[in-house]
Chains A and B, each alone.
Chain A
């Protein structure tokens, strides 16, 4: 069975600081991995996804994530946080793109 674990339900950073949101996955087959963002009262927006083409995946809004098989990790980073990045972030795993298992989410707060 596939699953993801997001380390840290809340992360707080200062504006301009590095953002690091952690995700570890478990999958018996090579997985597809995703990061989604959710703003209040909205659905999920895809930030980026890993499909085995490249281990460093670049997404929208300067977010990127690196797939590390040896560590079973897919951490999300952004070099410089903006106030508009404050939201909830979800890591997800799938083996077919259509049945995704999500982590519990990490709420990112950006302080001015």
Chain B
């Protein structure tokens, strides 16, 4: 079974631009979570989507948004990029039922650099 895939793997943008990152979950998984990883703040939860609905949300400004499609693929968008948005963005998928047997599997991440 294929793992979680994220595209693109690397991205360079300039301040003020917007960016869209994509995540394809493991087949059969309905939950997709997004995390931001920076040296200063570590790993922070952005949001989680389940069956096309945002189910949980972290403490990030409204410039960060996401969506999930009917095939469970998810995209996250960051508008009006700031230098501090430079980070590794990780996507994780799981079945999504929240039971003890449910496990999140992470993709390799998208490295975003904002110049």
Contact = CB atoms under 8 A, between A and B. Distances in A.
Contacts, number: 63
A97 B31 CA distance: 10
B15 to A, nearest CB: 25
A100 B104 CA distance: 9
A99 B33 contact: yes
A99 B107 contact: no
A99 B45 contact: yes
A98 B94 contact: yes
A99 B42 contact: no
A51 interface: yes
Interface residues of B, number: 29
B99 interface: yes
Contacts of B4: 43
Interface in A91-105: 92, 96-105
Given A32-B100, A43-B106, 5 more contacts: A43-B109, A98-B31, A98-B96, A99-B48, A102-B35
Interface of B: 4, 31, 33, 35, 42-45, 48, 50, 55-56, 58, 90, 92, 94, 96, 98-109
